Amino acid sequence: MNNAHALKEKALWLGFDQIGVCDAVPAPHLETYRAWLDRGFHGTMEYLERHLPLKESPQNMLPGVRSVVAVTLNYRRENRTAPGLPRIATYALGRDYHRVIRGKLKRLATWIEAEYAGAECRPCVDSAPIFDRDYARLAGLGWFGKNTCLIDSKRGSWFFIGLLLTTVQFEPDAPSVGGCGTCRRCIDACPTGAIVQHDGVWQVDARRCVSYLTIEHKGEIEPELATGIGDWTFGCDVCQDVCPFNEPRPSQPMRSAEATDPDLTKFRQWPRLEQLAVIPSEDWDRTSQGSPIRRAGLEGIRRNARINLHNAITGSARPKPSDSR
Ligand code: B12
Ligand code: SF4
Ligand code: SF4
């Protein structure tokens, strides 16, 4: 068993905000995930079904893995928008976080491989067949809120999660404990009623979630849900905006994205909604370069802009909640 002190110092030096370690145990909540898929809550994200057998254990990702190193990177920043401009979820305002986090994790892997002869490592960010939040919770980085986001009691939930699997056995941290109590602000504020409870577990029916509809879903969107999209053009911040754990805490300020990594906040000028609704392929290609919003695709972003314009005319664009802090 290796002490994780130097590893943690290195991760913080690389710019991560929090780091924790857990043993590479089989996925603790695989059955909840299976039931979620059985209900069809994943919609058309078929890759999540394909990933099911791989997600059973981190051994499927890296044979011989002993520890999972979990890290977080804050993305909290001011997110103002103006009428006529697209409204983009805070996480997607800057450079694609997959690249930023993977780059840092690779450097952490290089450090481990140099320190521990024969060590192997595998970085995972979001798209890998592993439960990012479950392992981050085991590693002590937060607990599951009713909105299903991982929440750090002191810092809230405006952070990404990265995992580094390694064959080196590091001393594990204690899992996080915490809970929402009687609060249900996110459930009441969700514009499409996507946060539901099944078998005593709060979960997101992705088919109703604005984030899924504006990013992952291809094709038309049924009118009731399109109305719920309001003025969101890409993603949705509502269930985090209303969360009391995300209220600013002067005694424990969370680092802003600007401080986390300037690359996450590089200025981008987005076309107006009228232009986005008919944006030519070459312009979209240039505009979305290096940004998470590229994932919506040309047809998806045009559709979202059309919905926003329609909602602005019919008055179903929601009033702007407070800025992300
Ligand atoms: C698919 C997906 C989505 C889908 C579905 C979201 C969902 N809630 O399921 C959609 C497209 C809707 C989505 C939206 C967003 N996403 Co997303 N998404 C993912 C992805 C790829 C998989 C999540 C998943 O497996 N969902 C299925 C459900 C069943 O799993 P789960 O919610 O994690 O639930 C687990 C717990 O409920 C637990 N559990 C079950 N029972 C119990 C009981 C107890 C007591 C406990 C403790 C736990 C527990 O077991 C479940 C399975 O592990 C992860 C990355 C990854 N590889 O994990 C990112 C990820 C969850 N997304 C992320 C982000 C940032 C977002 C958005 C905020 C983006 C945005 N602003 O638009 C929104 C948030 C919406 C929301 N409220 O969740 C971050 C979350 C960071 C955080 N602090 O939590 C992740 C971790 C990506 C990353 N690496 O940073 N996402
Ligand atoms: S991201 Fe938006 S639509 Fe999705 S669960 Fe949260 S509040 Fe609801
Ligand atoms: S808004 Fe309330 S219920 Fe929802 S995640 Fe935050 S504390 Fe939990």
Provide the 8-state DSSP code for 296: G
Asked if residue 229 has its Cβ within 6 Å of ligand 2, the reply is no
Q: How many residues in the chain?
A: 325
- Tokens 């045009």 correspond to 302
Mean pLDDT of the chain: 93
By the 10 Å C-beta count (0-12 exposed, 13-18 middle, 19+ buried), 91 is classed as buried
Q: Centre a 10 Å sphere on the Cβ of residue 313 and count the other Cβ atoms it contains.
A: 9
pLDDT tens-digit readout, 296-322: 999 999 999 999 999 999 987 654 443
Comparing CA positions, the residue from 238, 202, 229, 228 lying closest to residue 296 is: 229
CB atoms within 10 A of CB 119: 16
How confident is the model at residue 320, as a pLDDT?
A: 44
d(CA 157, CA 153) in angstroms, rounded, equals 9
Find the catalytic residue in 126, 173, 263, 283. Answer: 126
Nearest-angstrom CA–CA distance, 209 and 217: 10
Give, using CA atoms, the residue closest to atom 1 of ligand 3.
243
Number of domains the chain contains: 1
Of the candidates 80, 78, 70, the residue with the CA atom closest to the CA atom of residue 101: 70
Burial class (CB in 10 A: 0-12, 13-18, 19+), 98: middle
Does the beta carbon of 156 sit less than 6 angstroms from any atom of ligand 3? Answer: no
Q: Residues in the chain with pLDDT < 70?
A: 250-254, 256-268, 317-325
Domain residue limits at 97: 1-325
* Distance from the alpha carbon of residue 191 to the mean position of ligand 2, in angstroms: 7
Q: How far is CA 206 from CA 187, 218, 240, 316, in A?
A: 14, 13, 16, 21
Q: What is the pLDDT of residues 82-105, one digit of tens each?
A: 889 999 999 998 888 999 999 999
Position 322 scores a pLDDT of 39
Amino acid letter, residue 212: Y
Q: How far is the CA of 251 from the centre of ligand 3 (A)?
A: 21
pLDDT of amino acid 249: 73
For residue 38, how far is its CA from the centre of ligand 3 (angstroms)?
A: 26
Q: How far apart are CA 102 and CA 123, in angstroms?
A: 7
Q: What is the DSSP code (8-state) at residue 270?
A: P
pLDDT at 252: 63
